[in-house]
Amino acid sequence: MDGFRALAVIEHGRAQLLSRNGHAFASFTELGKQIAAALPNARAVIDGEICSLDRRGKPQFKNLMFHRGNPPCFFAFDLLMCDGKDLRTERLLDRKQELRRLLARACAPLKYTEYIDGCGTALFQRVCELDLEGIVAKQKHSPYVTDREASTWFKIRNPHYSQWAGREKLFERDRHSEPVAGWHACAIACAELEHLNPLLFAAR
């Protein structure tokens, strides 16, 4: 999915979307309200991507950037914590199973991100044919890792992706301003929820 990586932090009927450096996405407040409405009784931290899809279901990054086209949606692909249980040390397959269960009755704009076990080469070739951004390869038995250097996730980009032109330059300043390398906003989000509810991580 080509969009903004984000954490959806859901608690007490509210949802906040955080960027990779822990800042709230102020421009996606309405999306946060819709996520909270889709999961009214959940306490969870979900890792995912904010995207804007065209009428063919293809992500359009500029539409997302400039708030045009279809309303944004949230593709959920990992679950860090749910209903008081910290899942970050669990296997990826187990976290995906819990995520599927959590989203079973959820509706738009929340979308569960399916995965394909194996067949990576064929999948990547098809992604390139469809002019999509790329694929992410993950070790299915791995825990959730926040340190970029120790990550078991590998993003394989389509070198001919038509929407990639000029993107590196556009976000170069923001990348260098990040306080730490890697995806550390999850630690911020989970620590904040733990502070609000001391029993949140008691059940393992």
Confidence of residue 134 (pLDDT cuts 50, 70, 90): very high
CB 12 within 8 A of CB 41: no
**Model confidence at 124: pLDDT above 80:** yes
- Cis check for the bond before 109: say yes or no (omega within 30 of 0): yes
* pTM of the full structure: 0.83
- Span 97-115, average pLDDT: 93
Q: Give the separation between CA 3 and CA 115, rounded to whole angstroms.
A: 18
> From the CB of residue 79, how many other CB atoms can be counted at a distance below 10 Å?
26
Q: Tell me: the pLDDT tens digits for 136-165?
A: 999 999 999 887 767 888 999 999 999 988
The DSSP line for 57-94 is: S-B-HHHHHTT-SSPPEEEEEEEEEETTEE-TTS-HHH
CB 112 within 8 A of CB 73: no
> CATH number of the domain at 4-196, please?
3.30.470.30
pLDDT for 67 equals 93
The contacts of residue 75 (CB under 8 Å, 6+ apart) are 1, 3, 48, 49, 51, 111, 113
Using alpha carbons, select from 133, 137, 132 the residue that is nearest to residue 120. Answer: 137
Confidence of residue 188 (pLDDT cuts 50, 70, 90): low
